Amino acid sequence: MPANGLDSGRRAAAVLVVVLGAAALWRGTGGGSTADASQKAMSAAIAEARERAAANDPRLKGSYRFDRGGWLYVHLEGEPGALGYQHGYLLAPEIEDAFAAVRAQMTHSTERDWEFFRKAAHDMLWPKIDAEYQQELQGIVDGLRARTGSKLDVYDIAAFNAFEELPDYYVPWYNKAHPVAQAPMGSGRTPDLKSPGNCSAFVATGSWTKDHQIVIAHNNWTSYLNGERWRIMFDITPAHGYRILMDGFPGVIASDDDFGINSDGLMVTETTITQFEGWNPEGKAEFVRARKALQYASSIDEYTRIMLDGNNGGYANDWLLGDRKTGEIAQLELGLNAYKLWRTKDGVFAGSNWARDPKVLKLDTPQFDPNDLETSPNARRVRWDELLNENKGQIDVALAQQMLSDHADSFAQKEQPDERTLCGHSDLSQRGVQVWAWGAFYPGGAVQGKTTDSAMTKEMRLIARAGHPCGGDFLAKPFLAAHPEYDWQAPYLRDMKAGPWTEFRSGEPQPKH
C-alpha cells in the first residue's frame, strides 16, 4: 500500500474517533425517542464521515462510473489492490445487493449454508489464487467496507466470485464423496444439481463474414434473478497485462458470462458444457484463470495455456476465441479429463451448451445425449447451423444482433420465444430444461447480448444490450403471481427491462451532465 494510503486510513480513523466520542456524550443525555433520534443522527454522521474519508482515498484516483442504456460503465485502473478498491467502492451498493441474491440462490439450490461456501473458499480456493488476484479481492473488500461499512470479508467475496463453479461443480462432487442420508438442511429432498447451461454464441472469420475479419457475439443465459444484475461494463487498465473491456457482474473479477476483448486484439467468449461432471479440488478457481487469460494472453495458444494451467473443472466451457492480429478463430472445449482445440482462418464456431469432442463427451459429460434434438442445447445447435449457413459471407455486427435476438424454435418448427430459441425465454415454457434442472416456467433465459468485430476490437469498442437481446421485457410481479412455486425468489427477483443496443469504448470519459 502506498504511504499516502496509510495516511488517509489514519485520517478516516481520526474522524471516526471524534464522531464516536460525540455519540457517547449524546447518548448520556437524552432518553426515549429523543435518544433514538440522536443515535440515528450519529449513525448517519459516522457513515457520512466514513464516506467522506473513503472518497478521498488516493486508491480511487482515475476511477469513475456512469450509466448508459441500462448498463453501468466502470473504469478501473492501477495496481491490483487499487483495481479492487475502486471496484468495491464504486459498485458497493450493487455488490451488497448481488451478494444477497447470489447467496440466496447458492444456499437454496444446494441446501448448504453460507459457512460451507466460505470454508470452501478459505481452505480450497484461496491458497491457489495468484497473489495479484488475492490483492484485488482484498481491495474489493476494503473499498466496500470504506463505502458502506460492509461486514463481508475476503472469503465471502472469494466464494461469491466462484458462484458459477462452487454450487454446480464442487457441491455435486463433494456430495458424491460425502454421501448423507438426506439433504444437509433437512428438507428431505436430494438437491438436483446440474452444471448450468449458459449462453448462445458464435465467432466467425474469413469467407463467412462481410469484411473477412472476425465477428464475435454472445448472449448470456442465466436466471433472471442474476441476469438483471449482470449489466456492468468493466473498462480495466491494469498496471500489469493488457487493457480489458468486458461485461460483468458486481463484485466479480472475471466477466464470468463471458464476453471480453483485450488491447492486444484477443476476442473471447464461451458457452458452458451441459451435464458436465467433475471437479479437481487441487486446481485453480476458474474465475481466476479466466480473468488471467483475458488480461495476459496475446494469442490463442497463450489463452489455452493459461486456462489449462491448474484446470479445476469448474464452470467448464467451450471457449470461442479470436485473434484480430491474425484473423484466426478457435474453439477450446475445456473438459477436465479431456479437452480439444479447433482453429481456423476461414470458418465459424458456434456454441449453445453442447460438447462435441468424442473424448470430452465420453469422459466429462457421460449423461449428455447429443442426438436429443428436443432439448435446448441441441435445438439451438440446429438453429445456429441454419442461421449461420444462410448468412455465410454477410455476417457483421448488425446481423449478429439479429441472430442473438432470434426466436425460431428448430424443434417445433415455429417462431416462438421459448427455452429452445437462441434468445431464450424459459419462463414462457412449461417444459423447463431438465438437463440443467430448470423446472417448468423457470425464470431464466437470455438476459443480455454483446457483439464486436476485428476493426472495433482494434479501437477497444463493443456493442451491448441489457435485457433480452430481442428487446422484450420480463416483469417480476405478474410472473410471481402466476408461478407461486418461485416465491422464494420474491425478495430478489426484479423486472428485467431491455435497453437499446449501446456502444461502449475503453477509456471513454465520464459524460458531462
Return residues touching Zn ion (CB under 5 A).
Answer: 417, 423, 468, 470
Residue with cell 465459424: 348
Greatest pairwise CA separation for the chain in angstroms:
81
Shortest gap between Cβ of 498 and Zn ion (angstroms)?
A: 9
Find the helix or strand (DSSP H, E) in which 18 lies: helix 3-29
CB of 406 to Zn ion, least distance (A): 8
Nearest distance, CB of residue 225 and Zn ion, angstroms:
18
Whole-number Å distance between alpha carbons of 249 and 65: 14
| Residue 472 CB, nearest approach to Zn ion (Å) | 5
User: How far from chain centre, in Å, is Cα 154?
Assistant: 18
User: Least separation, in Å, of the C-beta of 102 and Zn ion?
Assistant: 24
Output 364 or 409, the one with its CB closest to Zn ion. 409
The residue whose grid cell reads 459516522 is: 46
Q: Minimum distance from CB of 507 to Zn ion (Å)?
A: 32
Residue number with CB closer to Zn ion (167 or 424):
424
Nearest distance, CB of residue 211 and Zn ion, angstroms: 27
DSSP state for residue 151 in the 8-state scheme: -
Nearer to Zn ion, 283 or 417 (CB): 417
Nearer Cβ to Zn ion (289/407): 407
Measured from the CB of residue 276, what is the shortest distance to Zn ion in angstroms? 26
Burial 186-213 (b: 16+ CB within 10 A, else e): eeeeebebbbbbbbbbbbbbbebbbeeb
At position 272, the amino acid (one-letter code) is T
Single-letter residue type at 72: L
How many residues in the chain?
Answer: 513
CA distance 108 to 100: 12
For Zn ion, the closer of residues 408 and 423 by Cβ is 423
CB-CB contact of 233 with 245 (8 Å)? yes
Task: Decide if 446 contacts 424 (C-beta within 8 A).
Answer: yes
Give the nearer residue to Zn ion in terms of CB position, either 406 or 508: 406
First-to-final CA distance of the chain: 34
Residue whose CB is less far from Zn ion, 251 or 467:
467
Nearer to Zn ion, 191 or 417 (CB): 417
Minimum CB distance to Zn ion, residue 471 (Å): 8
Cβ atoms of 360 and 335 within 8 Å: the answer is yes
Secondary structure of 458-482 in the HEC alphabet? HCCEEEEEECCCCCCCECHHHHHHH
Q: State the DSSP code for 491.
A: T
Cβ closest to Zn ion, residue 225 vs residue 423:
423
Q: What are phi and psi of 276, to 5 degrees?
A: -75, 140
Helical H segments across 56-153, by residue range: 80-90, 92-110, 114-119, 131-148
